[in-house]
Amino acid sequence: MDAARRAAQGVVTARAERRALADVITAPAEVVINLYRSAQVTPRIAAQVIARHARLGDSVTTGQPLVTLSSVEMAEAQGQLLVADREWKRVRKLGRKVVSERRYIEAQVTRQQAWARVLAYGMTRAQIKALLAEGDASRATGSFDLISPQDGTVISDNFIVGELAEPGTVLFEISDESVLWVEAKLNPEDAGRVAIGAPARIKAGDGGWLQGKVVQRHHRLDETTRTQAIRIEVDNRDDRLHPGQFVEAAIQSGKAAPVVAVPTGAVVLFQGSPTVFKVEGDELHPQPVETGVTRAGYTEIKAGLAEGEEIVVKGAFLIKSLLLKSQMGEGHAH
C-alpha cells in the first residue's frame, strides 16, 4: 500500500519516539472559577440601585460601567467637594501673598479630604473630574456608577433595580474564564506523590482532553471524604469547561526515564501477539512487539521496534483486516 493509497484510506504513519511515561493518577474532579482572576463588585456605602448596565453572561472590560447607584451620603460628599473645590480655586488664584498661610493650607486640605471621601465612597477619578469640570452644585445628586475592575464574564448579578444595597452587598461577580481551576480529590498518599508543576490532562464534556498543570495542593483534608484536593490550572480559551462541571483528571506522578513508545492505537493483537505495522517502502509489514506500560494514550515498546522506525499510528485495525483477508485469498494488503 503506497503513500497515496494509505492517505486515501485514512491511514497515518509516524516514527517511533522516546517518551517519558510516568505514572498517572486518575480521579474525579470539579471545574471551579479561578479566584485569582475574579472580582466582586460591591457598594461601599448604602445606595439604591438606579440602573443596570450589564447582565449575567455578558463579557465586560476594565472600567466599563456595570450599575448606577444613588446615595444620600454620596450626594452630601459630592456637594462638599464642589464647595471645597470652588474655595480652593479661589484661594489659589489669589495666591499666598493675598490670603493667609492658614487659609491657603485649610482650603487645600479641605479639598483633598473632600476628594478622598467621594473616592472612598465609590466614585472613580474620571467621574470626580467630570463632576468638578461642570462645577454645578445641582449635579451633586448622589448618583454614581460602579465599574468593572477587570476584563471577564459576568457570572453573578443577584440584584434588582430599585433595591437598597447595603455596604458590601455583592452586586456582580466578574471572572476571567480563559484560565480555570480544576480541583481533583485524591487520597493523601496519592496527593503526596504529585509535584507542583506536574502535567495533567482533563477530560472535557465533549470527550476530548485538555492540557493543564498542577499549581497548588490543599493543606487541609476534606472533613467528610478525608481526601486532599489538588488544584490544576487549565487553559480554557476555547470555552470548553465551565465552573461547576464534573470532569475526570489524569495527573502525572513521579518521574520516568524516556522509553520507545507509540500511540496505543498503533498496537493490535495479530496472530496472538501484540503487533505494529512497519513501513518498508510502499509495503506494510506486521512486526510483533513486546509491550510495557500504557500511559496517557501511549504504550511502551520494550522489544521489536527501534526509535525512529516508521509505523502505522492510525488505521492499524484496517491494515490488520486487509492482511487477514489477503491470507484468506480475498485480497492483498500490499
- Which pLDDT score, from 0 to 100, does residue 331 have? 44
- Which pLDDT score, from 0 to 100, does residue 332 have? 46
- Which pLDDT score, from 0 to 100, does residue 5 have? 81
Phi, psi of 88 (to 5 degrees): -65, -40
To the question of pTM greater than 0.95 for the whole model, the response is no
**Tell me: the pLDDT tens digits for 82-92?**
999 999 999 99
Fold of 3-19+257-327: 2.40.420
**Tell me: the pLDDT tens digits for 104-133?**
999 999 999 999 999 999 999 999 999 998
**Tell me: the pLDDT tens digits for 253-312?**
877 779 999 999 999 999 899 999 999 988 889 999 999 988 878 999 999 999 999 999
> Domain spanning 23-36+176-253 has what CATH number?
2.40.30.170
Is a pLDDT exceeding 50 seen at residue 314? yes
Distance CA 50, CA 162 (A): 6
Mean pLDDT of the chain: 92
CB 53 within 8 A of CB 66: yes
For residue 101, give the C-alpha cell.
498661610
- Which pLDDT score, from 0 to 100, does residue 329 have? 61
What percentage of the chain carries pLDDT values higher than 90?
76
Distance CA 63, CA 146 (A): 9
Q: Where are the domains of the chain?
A: 3-19+257-327, 23-36+176-253, 72-139
Residue-by-residue DSSP string for 300-323: EEEES--TT-EEEEE-HHHHHHHH
Distance CA 121, CA 79 (A): 13
